[in-house]
Structure 1
Amino acid sequence: MNPTKQTIIIAFALFSLFFGAGNLILPPFLGYNAGDGWIWVLIGFTISAVIIPILAIYGHAKLQGTMLDFANKVSPKFAIIYSILIYIISITLPSPRTASVTYEMAVEPFFEISSLGLSSIYFALVLIFVLNRTKVLSIIGKFLTPLIVLILLIIICLGLFTEVESFRNSIFNNSFVEGILEGYQTFDAIGGVVVGGVIVISLSLQGKFNYEEKKKMIAKSGLIAGLGLFIIYGGLIALGAHNSGELIIENRPELLSTLSLQTLGNIGNAFLSVLVALACFTTAVGIVTGTADFVKGLMGNSQRAYIITGIVGCVLGVLMGQFDVHYIIVVALPALMFIYPITIVLIILNVVPEKWASKLVFRGVVLATFIFSIPDFLKFIISEEKITPIKEMIPFSEYSMGWVLPAFIVFVLLNVLNFRNKKTDTELT
């Protein structure tokens, strides 16, 4: 297979892996709440839900290793702990959320069944597919994503060309920051760190391409996938804002269903709901399987570890999946405020030139990020009043971005120190 064709295949694979069905419900509601400030939330959302994840893919194109290599410069132990945390978060939040989205969009409007009953059946089926690996899901996935994208493009185009009331005023104090923070909920930066390693390994197993060829293919495919994500996310945010003046909507799944109903009618809406449910299911199977594979590798390729992890992942899915989407999104915030800043700086450090990303820089920047993101994490655990004095001393902390400036300052200072040390060593020799 020639590099161009391989690049296109990887681009479609990346788009499908990033384009989780749960993510579909985030952009329209973000645009709906932003109203006349939708451009700013689009810019913020693009940074955290498109640019950062694609940079993660580019970082993997440079490294061409595993997920553990992404954090290895901090220390091997840190890399293992970080990877374990990523997988724990994955099976306890985005995986159960797929069941919640399925229930609210595809089951509750048509059938009388409890959310607990649905999540139990849903993850029982997930477990069957996890324990009995098959290519059926990957084959379905190849058709699902194009169909969902086609329907969404129809909804976006039809919806944006209809006359509506004027846009509502934005409910956000800072639309740009809200866009960034909502982008956290896509989990795509985490997905980029995980998926990038899988793509690298898949290409390496083919044994057909050298380092530079793989680097160019992965980087180009990431750019193509990122452009696709931007078009869909941007269209959905604009559509939500476009309808903000006339609709009264209280939750994310309801808005997407309402917009599809307005443009496609009952049959089209039902068809979209079924596709979203299937896409959610394939996502859940992928997350649980990936987590089980990781634990299996840590445990000396133990099949028992794989089975136990699969069962635990599905039990957690049932427990969390019975809650509504909004609740899971709220519960996810503390974990995201803790892990996302670290993930973002790891991605950036793996992208910048090697001369600016020594082990010392990795360790210093990650440590600074961890320390200064603690207040953002704690405000969900303890009374915000208790940490207000601390937050007031940290620039941008009121926007849950208190880690940004310290991380940047440490990055600059440590690079200046490294440069001076190298200059001194050169002069001595």
Structure 2
Amino acid sequence: MNNTKEVLVTSFALFSLFFGAGNLILPPYLGYTSGNDWFIVTLGFAITAVLIPILGILAHARLQGTMYDFGKKVSPLFSSVYCFLVYVIAISLPAPRTASVTHEIAVAPFFTTSALLTSTIYFALVFVFVINRSKILDLIGKFLTPLIGIILLLIIFIGIVTSPVAVSQTFIEAPIAKGILEGYQTFDAIGAVVVGAVIVISLNLKGNITYNEKKELITKSGWIAGTGLLVIYAGLILSGSLFQTEFSENATRIEVLTGLSRFTLGHIGTLFLSVLVALACFTTAVGVVVGTCDYVKALFKGSQTAYLITAVLGCLIGVLVGSFNVGFIIDIALPVLMFIYPITIVLIILNVIPNKYVSILAFRAVVLITSIFSIPDFLKFIIPIENVQPLIDVIPYGNFSLGWVLPAIITFILCYLYTNQLNKKNKLLMERI
């Protein structure tokens, strides 16, 4: 095995599987709203859109199983329910959203066709890639990702060099919290537990790779892909900030992205952006659908029929949901993310921490407490805010939709101290015996 070549191909594939609709439309808009605070916002965004996802890939490198392995230490039932929810969310929201973004940015400026037609053709092509499962890493890593990277770097470089000199203002009150929450919308933490499994299975299909070789390859690829994501995100956020004065105060995410490409690449920028959006979104959709199909196939003892049926259903859902506009899909996703994202984050972190520091008790207690303290953030999107606000006000960082963070940290520390003390007592008892 050519290790360097495999690392680069896997790195490119990982980057491309992560970099989809949200990753493209969110950073420029975040920069536009943050103005002079773009660096602080970038730090927050990097936590949930880069660091946590890459930790998820590192956890996969260690576990080398499926998403089920992330939650099985809590309980088999919990892990099964968690996997079901994540795959349903992934195939119903972020995957279809890629078709919606593709229509609004890459198709609508040139053709008057309907969004339904776009999503139909789009997911027909996704289906073709999904059924050619064994070639996914090479197709995405060798051919699609380099083109995505070149266009992105062109937009960022020209934007920084040619931007207006005007000083930008910020439209947000808590930059780092805003960056963290916008990172939720990339779905990258969820993407990590989904596409990480895709990478593991893809490497298994190649055969003749040991556990340690796969661990090293996935770990190196994860860090390289993460570095690429950080550079691109920071560049897009900075570019959005630098061109803030060129947009109206009520500019939308799509308007900021399309405007940025036009300001940097001129009239041809619209064409370049169309190619970029189509490629970036397409690779992510393929990764999500393949991940879902892989999981269902494993549930049915390797049944290829189960894989094909899931692929058909996943693409049909993509066609239907993908025909709605981007803003609607983002609004629908937000309450769901406020509940499932914190749970995903703590599962990733717990699976990365060495086993000697994390007990079964810690897995169960931290996930339970995180779930409980995420409920107010979920409820405020589905019931009148005044009914939930008194509860949010008494939870530390509750007003920033981060009320689960401190309770989760305290719970982990208490579990560690308790388990450590219990182990010492058991050791003393054994020595006396």
TM-score band by shorter chain is: over 0.9
Deviations 1:238-279 (A, max 9, x none): 000000123226222222221111222222421330342144
8 Å Cα contact 2:32-2:237 kept in structure 1 = yes
Distance of 1:363 and 1:104 partners within structure 2: 43
Query: Which residue does 1:335 correspond to in 2?
Result: 336
8 Å CA contact 2:71, 2:79 repeated in 1: yes
1:148·1:272 contact (CA, 8 Å) conserved in 2?
Answer: no
Matched pairs, number: 429
Q: Which residue of 1 aligns with 2:13?
A: 13
Map 1:28-427; keep pairs closer than 5 Å. 28-127=28-127, 129-130=129-130, 135=135, 139=139, 142-206=142-206, 208-248=208-248, 250-427=251-428
Task: Indicate the RMSD between aligned Cα atoms, in angstroms.
Answer: 2.2
**Structure 1, unaligned runs of 5 or more:** none
CA shift in 2, pair 1:426/1:130, >3 Å: closer
Kept after mapping to 2: 8 A contact 1:105/1:254: no
Aligned residues of 2:43 and 2:176 also touching (Cα < 8 A): yes
Moved more, 30-39 or 63-72: 63-72
Separation in 2 of the partners of 1:383 and 1:149? 43
How has the CA–CA distance of structure 1 residues 270 and 247 changed in structure 2, closer, same or farther, with 3 Å as cutoff?
same
1:353 & 1:392 partners in 2: Cα distance?
Answer: 35
* Worse overlay, 102-111 or 303-312: 303-312
Supply the distance in 1 between the matched residues of 2:39 and 2:322 (Cα, whole angstroms): 33
The Cα of 1:304 is off from its aligned counterpart by 4.3
Name the SS of the counterpart of 1:161 in structure 2: helix
Q: Distance in 2 between matches of 1:303 and 1:214?
A: 25
Shift of 1:159: 1.0
TM-score (norm 1): 0.93
Q: Following TM superposition, where does structure 1 have runs of at least 4 consecutive aligned residues deviating by more than 6 angstroms?
A: none
The residue type equivalent to 1:70 in the other structure is F
Structure 1 pair 130–17 and aligned structure 2 pair: CA distance change class (3 A): closer
- Contact map agreement 1:349 1:362 (CA 8 A) in 2: yes
Give the conservation status (yes or no) of the 8 Å contact 2:163–2:243: no
Which TM-score applies when normalising by structure 2?
A: 0.93
Distance 1:126 1:200 in 2: 20
Q: Which runs of 5+ in 2 are unaligned?
A: none
How far apart, CA to CA, are the structure 2 residues paired with 1:389 and 1:207?
A: 56
Q: Distance in 1 between matches of 2:66 and 2:344?
A: 15
**Which amino acid letter does the alignment assign opposite residue 252 of structure 1?**
R
Q: Kindly provide the CA deviation profile for residues 100-158 of structure 1, in whole angstroms up to 9, marking residues without a partner as x.
A: 11111111111112223322343344445545768489536632221121121111111
Assess, with a 3 A threshold, how the Cα gap between structure 1 residues 351 and 146 changes in structure 2: closer, same or farther. same
Amino acid corresponding to residue 287 of structure 1 in structure 2: V
Distance change (3 Å), C-alpha of 1:421 and 1:141: closer
CA distance 1:14–1:285, shift in 2 (3 Å): closer
Deviation at 1:99, TM superposition (A): 1.1
Identity between Structure 1 and Structure 2 (%): 59
1:91 CA displacement: 1.0
1:285-318 deviations in whole A, cap 9, x for unaligned? 3322332332232234444433433333233223
